[in-house]
Structure 1
Amino acid sequence: MWDATENQDQLSVCQEEADRYRLMAEQSTDMISRHTATLDWTYIDVNPAVEKILGYHPEEIIGTRGYDLFHPDDADNLKKRADSVKYREGMYTNTYRYRHKEGHYIWLETTSRTIREEDGTPLEVICVSRDVTEREMAQQAIRRLARVVEASSDMIMFCNHNTMRLTYMNESAYHTLGTEKEKPIALYLPQIFSEDNFNTLVQDALSHAAAHGTWYGSIPVQVPENHERIAEIREVIAHRNRTENMQVEYYSIIGRDITLKRRAEEQAKRQQLEMAHMSRLLSVGEMATGLAHEINQPLGAILNYCRGTLRRLEEGHTQENFEQITHSMQLITRQAKRAAEIVKRMRSFVKRTEYQRIEFSVNESCTDIAGFLHQEAVDHDITFEFDLDPSDPKLLADKIQIEQVLLNLMRNAIEAYNESEHTERPVRICSKFKSGYIYITVSDEASGITVEELGTLFEPFTTSKSSGLGMGLAISQTIIETHGGQLWAESDGKTGTQFHFKVPVRAN
């Protein structure tokens, strides 16, 4: 009798525990299910959480082949031991896609254990599953973002705020800095900049990012000398610990390999220099007759003085002849210097040069170019009139190129009178310093330019001349814009034309 009572008590305790476990299972937000230990995974039992997770009532899904609801790509994860499957102490954890009652797939994470007989024969499989769709979508987004970051042509690096160690670099950063991803080395932020740049520009950028969230600018990166790359940092983003003290934890540093861009810029600059040089040669070619006449004048004078000197030498060595000979030699020297200056100016103008920034007087350049065009102006009855800024402003730029623009504009003004019957033919050159810019105006009083012509004036190969390539104004505009300025024209189409250009005093 005593044994029967004891057994009954034990059965009651077991029943109470079973009821508690069932209550727990029914109240759980995880889906707890039992399946046959067969390949079709038929549902034997399932808790009410199945309705929230899969949309089925328990009685709808019991007896259903669980295998049929797997996404085709995930159905054999366990059999294949896919990367999504983890095993530990007799339990498998699998992350996979599973079909909802409404037809779409959700992501489930299931931990399963097989219940076996004492001889090892499988009885059933018990599974605990939860909906991890949001987590998987977030992880997929992170993985996609990581692929984008890794494939980006920009250099992307993460830097620890305290240690300045680069904790991550994408493929582009490894390539630009001359290191290999397969053989990573510990790099610190100061190592990829010169000491001066790190102590000033980089520290300022980090401080600005820490205070405002981001920094934008341009800081040159120091790459290995034998790597032949050119790179710069463009952006710094500060990331804070939002769950604790809001202090900066790390920086995202975004840079760019600008080797190809710099090479293209250098190539464009070389081409521009060649075009400018060609334009100067063409201009001098068009001026050849006037230049020859201008050089012939001092040469003719030298020849006459030499003949006179020879005659006086033949007459004897009188004191009077000696004084006249001395005077003749002085005149010969003066004329020779004049001819030499003309040749020197012409050689300097047509010489192929690199871009050279020097400080020079714009007023002097205006008068020098007018002197260069003296004979051409005389041949066309042109008078130069000057209204130059009395402060004599200095310009830091390429002197040869600026003078090339002046020459083009002055020659255009001279040639504007070709079809004009005006007896007075002034070409006015004005200079003015204002608000950090030097303004130059070259104007004429010929027939002017129509509105239609103004619209195409600076296009290449546009010209009203019977000869010439029509490149002068296009090249002039490029030169001025390269110096950070502007070139434009104004005309009423009747009483003349004004060409204006402005350049900053310290041109780029």
Structure 2
Amino acid sequence: MTYPTEDDFHRLLDALTMCVLLHDADTKAIVWANRAACIALGFSVEELLPLKARDMTRPEPKYRREIAVAAMDRSITEGPQGYEWCYRSRTGQDMLSEAIATYVPLREHAVVMVQFRDISAEEAVRQELRRYETRLREFMQDLSEGVAVLTHDGAIQFISDSGRRLLGLAAGDAPGSVFDYCGARSRESLAGQLDDAPLQRPSSPQRYRMIRRDGSACWLRITCRRLVIEDDIDGLLIHFRDISDEVGIEEARRTEARILEYAGRYNAMGEMATAIAHELSQPLAAVRNFIEGSIRRLEYAGPVEDAIWGLRSADRQAEHAALIIKSVREYIVKREPTETRMDLRDILADVAYFIELRARDAGVRVHIMQPRAALPVLCERVLIGQVMLNLAFNAIDALADVAADRRDLTLACEEEEGKALVRVIDNGPGVPADAHGRLFDGFSSSKAAGNGIGLSLCKNIVTRHGGTIWALPAADGGLECCFALPLRLE
């Protein structure tokens, strides 16, 4: 076998851009360097020959001469050997390198060729990435939000430490599928959210009741988006946060609101009691008169037809009284909130009876203005009726100091900009100009002795129905209170 001459080999290596050092196979001393190595290290070939490892290597245990010699020896018996080495240039600058030792038997003598390239920049990037990853892990560990990467069928490929904590996973537990933590109803809804995950931005947040691995229940708010990273990842990125406390607070507020609304209905009944008593006194007195007249006719053997007529008249008056009592009972009866599609005109017609009773005793003329077209809204009929009653009763009370011939109250329904609008207008004294904006915020009132709780309750009810409520000066003096609810035309 013919081996290349050393000169031929030198010419070949000088053409390379990679740095090359030739070491004697026996002594491991440098016997030659190509042009790229001389430029990188800042030495000529003649200057390199007498140098030892300590002269051109960082003084650390992992860069001892014995380690490099061992790698060169292995290259003779085992083939090319790769290792990391740090070269030091004439100027004292360290050059972290990736080195490969290869045994080459030349015609004159055997050498070990060491090819090396500067990886300082790459190592700096790797170290920065390691630091970034460490910091990221530390930050994510303390987050209140979990992060996970899912396959398209819901299997969890990656989950942050905070996410494991939220799902009740112990160290080493396989997370499994995201659907393992859902009930049947939540599973169907979550699957739909994941199927519709957008690519560019997170989805709208949705919340689900989940069961942790330890069996405890929680509520999670979840957003997701499609995640595509070249050929590495094609899945779903989800962010989830524990909102159990928020859900608990919302439920407590709903319970409190129901209690307040129930109490509000009884409070309104107290205000109507006098008017209702007056209204009931008429049919009850008539019943008594008709029955007494019938009894006299029967006692004195009068015409039976007259007695029957009297009893039937008494029955009609009793039925009238029963209808009044039934209307009141239906209004104040405690029932769970049930929102149904109602015509706002019908609700106003229902409460107009009570408003007119109260207004009649106060000497107030009531004007009801209804549009021809229906005003369909989604609401709880009793609660929206209560808002109308509260606003109307406040207006009637405000008219007490107005001359009797000028006491007018107008209740109007109409459509405005896609909403059903209710306006309650009086020509009373009104309220100070700076009070309109805070009239429904609680502890503000249009009454001299009022505390504003009824108006605050009105705002609570209207807001929960997705509407708005406000007050403004009436065109002819007095106060105009309005509230608007979204129309439900479909």
TM-score band w.r.t. shorter chain: 0.7 to 0.9
- Superposed CA deviations along residues 71-92 of structure 1, whole A, max 9, x for unmatched, are xxxxx999xxxxxxxxxx9999
For residue 430 of structure 2, what is the aligned residue in structure 1? 448
Q: How much does 1:492 deviate?
A: 5.3
Give the Cα separation in 1 of the matches to 2:474 and 2:342.
34
How big is each residue's C-alpha offset from its partner over 1:470-503, in whole Å with a ceiling of 9 and x where there is no partner? 2111110121111111111110596222111110
Whether 1:182 and 2:182 are equivalent positions in the alignment is no
Q: Structure 1 residues 291 and 13 mapped into 2: Cα distance closer, same or farther (>3 Å)? A: closer
- Is the partner of 1:135 in helix, strand or coil? helix
Q: In structure 1, what is the Cα distance between the partners aligned to 2:307 and 2:40? A: 125
Q: How many angstroms does 1:168 deviate by?
A: 1.5
2:264 partner amino acid: S
CA distance in 1, matches of 2:391, 2:227: 53
1:75-474 → structure 2 map (5 Å cutoff): 130=120, 132-161=123-152, 164-177=154-167, 179-187=169-177, 192=182, 196-197=188-189, 200-205=192-197, 208-209=198-199, 213-221=200-208, 223-224=210-211, 227-241=216-230, 249-316=234-301, 320=303, 322-474=304-456
Aligned in 2, Cα 1:66/1:362: closer, same or farther, shift over 3 Å? Answer: same
Given that 2:471 and 2:481 are in contact with CA atoms closer than 8 Å, whether structure 1 keeps it comes out as yes
Alpha carbons 1:156, 1:173 under 8 Å: kept? yes
Alignment-derived partner of residue 34 in structure 1: none
* Compared CA separation, residues 157 and 365, structure 1 to 2 (3 A): same
Which letter maps to 1:160? T
Provide the rounded CA distance (Å) in 2 between the counterparts of 1:159 and 1:352.
Answer: 47
For normalisation by structure 1, the TM-score amounts to 0.70
* Matched residue SS, 1:389: coil
User: Aligned-pair distance for 1:366?
Assistant: 1.1
For the 8 Å contact 1:190–1:198, the answer to whether it is kept is: no
Structure 1 position 201, deviation (Å): 3.6
**What is the count of residue pairs matched by the alignment?**
419
Contact 1:429 1:440 in 2 (8 A): yes
1:391 deviation in Å?
2.0
CA contact (8 A) 1:159 1:166 kept: yes
Q: Distance in 2 between the 1:499 and 1:269 partners?
A: 25
Letter in 1 for 2:32: R
Distance 1:199 1:159, change over 3 A: closer
Cα distance change of structure 1 residues 94 and 266 upon mapping to structure 2, 3 Å threshold:
farther
Correspondent of 2:470 among 488, 497, 500: 488
3-state SS of 1:215 partner: coil
Q: CA deviation at 1:222?
A: 6.0
Residue 198 (structure 1) shift: 5.4
In structure 2, what is the Cα distance between the partners aligned to 1:25 and 1:505?
A: 82
Question: Judging changes above 3 Å, is the alpha-carbon distance between structure 1 residues 272 and 453 closer, same or farther for their aligned structure 2 residues?
Answer: same
TM-score (normalised: structure 2): 0.72
Unpaired runs of at least 5, structure 1: 1-11, 31-42, 48-64, 68-75, 79-88, 96-100, 112-127
* Structure 2 unaligned regions, length at least 5: 1-21, 43-52, 64-73, 75-80, 87-91, 100-117
Q: In the TM superposition, what are the counterparts of 1:13-52 in structure 2 within 5 Å?
A: 14=24, 18-21=30-33, 26-28=38-40, 44-46=54-56
Distance in 1 separating the partners of 2:82 and 2:269: 91
TM superposition shift of 1:334: 2.6
What is the aligned-residue RMSD (CA, Å)? 4.3
CA separation of 1:422/1:172 partners in 2, compared to 1, >3 Å: closer, same or farther? farther
- Give, in angstroms, the shift of residue 438 of structure 1: 1.0
Deviates more, 1:335-344 or 1:413-422: 335-344
Q: For 1:244-298, what per-residue CA distance to the aligned partner results, in whole angstroms no more than 9, with x for missing partners?
A: 6xx9623211123332211111111111222222232222223322222222222
Matched residue of 2:334: which SS?
coil
Partner of 2:89: none
